[in-house]
């Protein structure tokens, strides 16, 4: 169970919210049923995963051992080995893109994106696309919660499934754990949450539902919604009340040929979550069309992919003018050292962190990160409330998606980000997210980062 806690502490509103006042208890699954579901999740993560996904299970175990051991060493090396001179090409340039290509990252594909800031914009767009879809709707999230908002969308997906093919894929571990954690705001009077969202989604509907298995309790943290294979929504939001109205967060609407690659990403995950697991045949789709546009980045330990980490580190190290970051969980020592080095060479480094995190451990870990950044000359902002948003701009290049700046997202869990350099799209992220959040937030002072448990919390957070 210790590993279970590590896997979830940086991903969702967990046990702290579950212990809130009695008016929130109706949004929480029955404790006995919730405990039973978690036990079944652990069984599926071990026995079922080893049978259905033997290749993934072995690969994940080797990767987990390597990355956990590596982080212990890296996190305790006192001397930074950051390059003193940045590469010749800054983020956003053709030369920088060529450098990312040489790193073996997926090449850019034609596409365009538009920001959907906070739940009102994301869920409003979700509603519109559900209404306009003609053939298919595919939804993959880390958490499909069991609160009133999630149940509303379960009903809507059931209605849509009468005329269109609807598939829902959610992470087994994340969803089971979220069912026993209450959101911060109470639901409607008389609401009784379902105990099992898979059964709830399937009841009286034609919705196909699968759980992503969790070998070694590793999670699939991806958030990806697809409509007719033509439009995609991706970013940091799950389906539930926190994302609908409580937290600050970001999704993007993606169109263009790149959506074909995103559709294949879903098809692969869907097939592996089925009865044939690693041996399932993935339907053929048209291949990617390369060109200037969006670069689809993954973290996938079993597949040996750390695209998001490679791109993040490369962009910070190559930055000349700015490194702007907003992320709720910033505990990666390597990313921190790169940001500190950038501040030391005069780059405008600004980091936005939540003033009220959903994870006590990660909140304390963020204080340790903030201390190092402020000492290096960076500006650290406390966003008023919980920001779950994961985005970064380096010079004229940006990345956003599901990945936190922690060990889980950089090296272990499955994550999905996109990177881009189109001026209008980077400009929209600058205006609608960063400049607005700088204005709304408060700059931290060094003395605010002091904590009696900061060093211990940092050591634990390094493994998250």
Which has more confidence, 12 or 364?
A: 364
Distance CA 307, CA 449 (A): 31
Closest CA to 312 of 410, 222, 177: 410
What pLDDT is attached to residue 174?
Answer: 96
The model's pTM: 0.91
Which has more confidence, 32 or 9?
A: 32
Quick check: 309 pLDDT over 80? yes
* DSSP labels, 389-430: --EEEETTEEEEES--BSHIIIIISBEEEEEE--HHHHHHHI
Q: What is the mean pLDDT of the chain?
A: 89
CB 212 within 8 A of CB 172: yes
* Tens-place pLDDT, residues 142-173: 999 999 999 999 999 999 999 999 999 999 99
Q: Any bridge partners for residue 251, and if so which? A: 116, 235
What pLDDT is attached to residue 13?
Answer: 43
Closest CA to 463 of 8, 79, 58: 8
Distance CA 323, CA 391 (A): 11
Distance CA 392, CA 319 (A): 12
What pLDDT is attached to residue 85?
Answer: 76
Half-sphere exposure of 115 (CA within 13 A, CB side): 22
Which has more confidence, 146 or 356?
A: 146
* Lowest pLDDT segment from 18-22, 107-111, 291-295: 18-22
Quick check: 20 pLDDT over 90? no
What pLDDT is attached to residue 70?
Answer: 77
* Tens-place pLDDT, residues 207-265: 999 999 999 999 999 999 999 999 999 999 999 999 999 999 999 999 999 999 999 99
Quick check: 71 pLDDT over 80? no
Distance CA 349, CA 199 (A): 47
Q: Beta 415-420 vs 295-300: how paired, if at all? A: antiparallel
Closest CA to 392 of 363, 420, 357: 420
Catalogue all structural domains in the chain, each as residue range(s) with its CATH number: 2-461 (3.30.870.10)
Distance CA 336, CA 145 (A): 32
What pLDDT is attached to residue 452?
Answer: 58
Quick check: 176 pLDDT over 80? yes
Helix H segments across 326-410?
Answer: 333-344, 360-375, 407
SS3 state at 330? strand
Distances (CA, A) of 198 to 169, 187, 201, 441: 9, 21, 5, 39
CB 165 within 8 A of CB 266: no
Residue with tokens 């053709």: 94
Instruction: Work out the average pLDDT over 17-46.
Output: 71
Instruction: Work out the average pLDDT over 1-20.
Output: 43
Quick check: 39 pLDDT over 80? yes
Residue with tokens 């990312």: 100
């Amino acid at each position: 169970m210790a590993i279970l806690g590590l896997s979830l502490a940086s991903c969702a509103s967990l046990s702290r919210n579950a212990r809130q006042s009695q008016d929130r208890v109706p949004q929480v699954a029955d404790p006995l049923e919730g405990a039973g579901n978690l036990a079944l999740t652990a069984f599926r993560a071990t026995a079922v995963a080893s049978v259905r996904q033997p290749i993934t299970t072995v690969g994940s175990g080797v990767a987990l051992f390597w990355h956990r051991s590596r982080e212990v060493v890296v996190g305790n090396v006192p001397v930074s080995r950051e390059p003193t001179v940045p590469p010749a090409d800054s983020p956003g340039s053709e030369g920088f893109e060529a450098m990312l290509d040489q790193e073996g990252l997926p090449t850019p594909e034609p596409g365009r994106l538009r920001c959907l800031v906070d739940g009102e914009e994301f869920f409003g767009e979700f509603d519109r696309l559900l209404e306009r879809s003609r053939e298919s709707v595919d939804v993959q999230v880390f958490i499909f919660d069991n609160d009133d908002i999630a149940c509303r969308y379960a009903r809507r997906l059931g209605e849509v499934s009468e005329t269109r093919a609807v598939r829902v894929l959610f992470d087994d571990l994340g969803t089971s754990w979220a069912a026993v954690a209450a959101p911060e705001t109470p639901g409607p009077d008389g609401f009784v949450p379902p105990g099992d969202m898979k059964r709830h989604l399937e009841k009286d509907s034609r919705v196909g539902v699968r759980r992503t298995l969790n070998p070694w309790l590793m999670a699939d943290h991806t958030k990806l919604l697809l409509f007719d294979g033509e439009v995609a929504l991706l970013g940091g939001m799950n389906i539930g009340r926190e994302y609908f109205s409580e937290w600050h967060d970001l999704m993007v609407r993606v169109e263009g040929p790149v959506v074909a690659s995103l559709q294949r990403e879903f098809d692969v995950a869907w097939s592996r979550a089925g009865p044939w697991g690693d041996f399932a045949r993935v339907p053929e789709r048209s291949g990617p069309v390369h060109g200037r546009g969006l670069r689809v980045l993954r973290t996938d330990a079993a597949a040996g992919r750390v695209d998001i980490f490679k791109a993040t580190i490369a962009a910070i190290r190559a930055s000349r003018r700015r490194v702007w970051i907003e992320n709720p969980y910033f505990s990666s020592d390597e990313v921190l050292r790169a940001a500190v080095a950038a501040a030391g060479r005069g780059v405008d480094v600004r980091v936005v962190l939540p003033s009220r995190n959903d994870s006590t451990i990660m909140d304390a870990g963020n204080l340790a990160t903030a201390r190092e950044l402020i000492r290096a000359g960076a500006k650290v902002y406390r966003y008023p409330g919980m920001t779950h948003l994961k985005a970064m701009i380096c010079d004229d290049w940006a990345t956003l998606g599901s990945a936190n700046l922690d060990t889980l997202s950089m090296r272990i869990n499955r994550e999905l980000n996109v990177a881009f350099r189109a001026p209008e799209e980077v400009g929209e992220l600058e205006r609608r997210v960063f400049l607005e959040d700088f204005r709304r937030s408060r700059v931290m002072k060094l003395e605010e980062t002091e904590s009696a448990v900061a060093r211990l919390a940092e050591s634990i957070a390094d493994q998250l």
